[in-house]
Structure 1
Amino acid sequence: MPRALLIAAPASGSGKTTVTLGILRALARRGVTVSSAKSGPDYIDPRFHEAASGAPCVNLDAWAMTPARIAALAGRSDDLLVIEGAMGLFDGAPHATDPTRDGKGASADLARQLGAAVILVVDASHMAQSIAPLVAGFIAHDPTLTIAGVIVNKVGSPRHAAMITRALGRVGVPLIGCILRDKALATPSRHLGLVQAGERPDLDAFLDRAAETVEEALDLDALTALATPFEGSKDATRTPPPAQRIAVAQDAAFAFAYPHLLDDWHAQGAEIVTFSPLDDQPAPPADLVYLPGGYPELHAGKIAANHRTLQSLREAAARARVYGECGGYMVLGDGLVDRDGLRHRMAGLLDLETSFATRKLHLGYRTATSVASAVPFEGTWTAHEFHYATTLKADGTPLFTATDAEGADLGPQGLVRGSVSGSFLHLIDRA
């Protein structure tokens, strides 16, 4: 039976990603077979997980996925499953009318569904004895959760660690260890999140440093002994493939495709082929050309100059469906303005202009229903939106209607023109 640990924190920025990566790499170096997951809609951390453990990482989303889907993804093997939480332990979507039901999709929500033991990573850089009431409050807040242990991060000195250890001794929760501050474990960031795993030439050295830090500071045997068994499932309702042969853009500019959807399509007989727009590769012959999200704005000049790729998209639209999601959606438009105010000509398949010169954050869960027919993703979907682009122009037939997590109407989303469609929404699963 699989066993699970969920690595959570009181707040973002506590260091749970680095701690999780260190644990995964340390266990892998010991020969422990371990798999991992990330709570919520995240494309970047899972790729770091895979580099650390050498095993695939899945997203488990307690807002967007059914319990059956989560059980199937979490229980895909009988290995130890290490899940990295998102934001603070109890941070999730608000409820429209009942504040006692706030927090749907939070890491705590996922831990409840799987019965996973929670390991709380606490940033102690600005506290000492005050860590005790903080941890005690998290334990008392929800008795249905098991906070099985604490990892104290960003500790200033051995004396600081001793003060924290004494304070936590009165709380009655196991202290797995104290990790001293280490500037070498800081992770670079950009405007929309962490730098991607494939963009770090020092990735292996970073992961080994994290593993060495974890091995020195934590009792890994005590940690893994806290993992709790859960009922996984080998059966799940899979999302049908949107086409038989699907060409997927895949490189540093188009990296945000959910593996569980690609796996669903492949498991049901679809053929998945990839190509790189950044390398000016043409879209292969396919029934559907799919441009996922990513960071096209960082490569807009290069994409605009890659005429072979852009022309292949125009030619594909004459014989197949073409779909763009978030960053891919912007590339299907007429133009993209980068953050320096320079406009770059895109594929010109949708009457769409987007800009990063004036940024505005669009963030949150969505429920999207297609309003156009003969599009790749018909019906109702759970989705997530996270981008800073401003829409300068979007003319034509909308693709979806959408509501937010509280049920508020967000109006029409995306565009359809002939065989080409797309939107800013990252689709997660069938609703």
Structure 2
Amino acid sequence: MQKSLILAAPSSGAGKTTVTLALLRLLAREGVAVRGAKSGPDYIDPKFHEAACGQPCLNLDAWAMAPDRLKGLAAGDGLLLIEGAMGLFDGAPPDGRGAVADLARQLHLPVVLVVDAGRMAGSVAPLVAGFARFDPAVQVAGVILNRVGSARHEAMLRRALAPLGLPVLAALGRDGTLTQPSRHLGLVQAGERPDLDVFLDRAADALAPTLDRATLLDIAAPLPEAAQPPTLAPPAQVIAVAQDEAFAFAYPHMLADWRAKGAELRVFSPLVDDPVPKAGFVFLPGGYPELHAGRIASATRFLQSLRNAAQTTDIYGECGGYMVLGDGLVDADGTRHAMAGLLGVETSFEHRRLHLGYRHLSPLGGPFTGPLAGHEFHYATTLRETGDPLFRATDAEGTALPDMGLRRGRVSGSFAHLIDAGPTVR
């Protein structure tokens, strides 16, 4: 039977990712059929999930995806552990849509609350009680204590929680070696961690002594039956997809949709100066081009083949890919690197500024024909942006934003990351 539960927390920074990875690695090592999923828009954590248990990880986004889509993506064999984002009830304004709680309601799944108990004792009880009682439609079914200081501290926390009747499923001790390196968009990518397996085993070993496996597995609830989910149509029969450390942010469900509809995906690496494969559509995903701007600027075979392809082929870049399609990119040190020159945009990381939020998008041209749901998350500053816009856009509340992106001939791009089909922007 397919069963699942959600790992959430009162706030960001409680250690959800570390606890999720420890559980995935430990259960997989013990022979449990387990896989991971990530709530909300996130490209980085899913790769850690895959490394921990050896199974593909998908995103489940309750803001951008319809209920049937969520159910279809969640379906699969074994136990599904879903890692939440931010705090349990933190969603998009005005009503919290897309929060982890929203996902729990739609999939009728129990929540295990991960609590950073490092600086509390008896106060853990009213904190957990408040979250457990806040919304009757969201079942908080257990607690995992994180950053516990000692055996005595653990005993105090368990004693405080006992009257609530919620099981304490594990207590992970405070351990500086379980801190993960990060950069401005989140954790350093899984593929950049040569010590990743050592870290995952250490986390699993730390969790194992206190984990109540039987109760954890008993709490997991059956996943709702999945109808045939809607899928995104491929933009061409043959699609060239850039894929390396600079172009790593492509949603697996989108690529899977294209394959399911019969498209052939041809992967290439701009960082090793691969030429663009022959295709009917070229996709440059987001990533970290600012960390590799010099290598991209010197990848003459890639850049020239991209310019050649633009004469006959649709090319689309999002976020990092959009910046590479532009005229130039200024890195954090203030050095300008010439990019492909296919769109009239110049970007800079010398003075960073956060752009963050869900986006309703209506295409004004380019390769897309229907309304789309997406998100924006980057620190680039736009120095210049000239040309025809790609999307009309609003934020999660429906407030109109400036038009997003550019299109020129067969080339288009924007800072928006596309997630799924969405309602029309008015």
The two structures share one fold, judged by TM-score above 0.5: yes
Mapped partners of 1:177, 1:343: distance in 2: 50
Tell me which residue corresponds to 2:88. 89
Unaligned runs of 5+ in 1: 96-101
Tell me which residue corresponds to 1:41. 41
The answer to whether residue 382 in structure 2 is matched with residue 391 in structure 1 is: yes
Mapped partners of 1:63, 1:323: distance in 2: 24
- Secondary structure class of the residue paired with 2:159: helix
Tell me which residue corresponds to 1:173. 166
Q: Which moved more, 1:166-175 or 1:251-260?
A: 166-175
CA-CA distance at 1:221 after TM superposition: 2.0
Mapped partners of 1:254, 1:377: distance in 2: 21
Equivalence map 1:45-194=2 (5 Å): 45-75=45-75, 77-95=76-94, 102-194=95-187
Encode CA deviations 1:22-69: one digit per residue, 9 max, x unaligned: 100111101111122100000000000001111111100000000000
Mapped partners of 1:183, 1:34: distance in 2: 27
Equivalence map 1:19-418=2 (5 Å): 19-75=19-75, 77-95=76-94, 102-233=95-226, 235-372=228-365, 375-418=366-409
Encode CA deviations 1:84-108: one digit per residue, 9 max, x unaligned: 000000000011xxxxxx2100000
CA-CA distance at 1:210 after TM superposition: 1.1
Mapped partners of 2:210, 2:180: distance in 1: 20
Note the aligned Cα RMSD (angstroms). Answer: 0.8
Tell me which residue corresponds to 1:98. none
- Secondary structure class of the residue paired with 2:157: helix
Amino acid aligned to 1:67:
P
Tell me which residue corresponds to 1:99. none
Tell me which residue corresponds to 2:7. 7
- Secondary structure class of the residue paired with 1:169: helix
Amino acid aligned to 1:115:
H
Mapped partners of 1:31, 1:405: distance in 2: 42
- Secondary structure class of the residue paired with 2:340: coil
Amino acid aligned to 1:133:
P
1:243/1:376 contact within 8 Å kept: no
Mapped partners of 2:199, 2:239: distance in 1: 35
Encode CA deviations 1:122-160: one digit per residue, 9 max, x unaligned: 001111110000000001101111111000000111111
Amino acid aligned to 1:165:
R
Mapped partners of 1:133, 1:243: distance in 2: 55
Mapped partners of 1:89, 1:312: distance in 2: 46
- Structure 1 residue runs of 4 or more that deviate by more than 3 Å after TM superposition: none
Mapped partners of 1:368, 1:108: distance in 2: 25
2:372/2:419 contact within 8 Å kept: yes
- Secondary structure class of the residue paired with 2:142: strand
Mapped partners of 1:241, 1:106: distance in 2: 29
- Secondary structure class of the residue paired with 1:179: strand
CA-CA distance at 1:3 after TM superposition: 1.0
Unaligned runs of 5+ in 2: none
1:2/1:232 contact within 8 Å kept: no
Mapped partners of 1:204, 1:220: distance in 2: 22
- Using structure 1 for the length normalisation, give the TM-score: 0.97
Amino acid aligned to 2:390:
L
Mapped partners of 1:220, 1:17: distance in 2: 19
CA-CA distance at 1:234 after TM superposition: 5.6
Mapped partners of 2:262, 2:183: distance in 1: 38
2:363/2:370 contact within 8 Å kept: yes
Encode CA deviations 1:319-342: one digit per residue, 9 max, x unaligned: 101110000000000000011111
- Secondary structure class of the residue paired with 1:41: coil
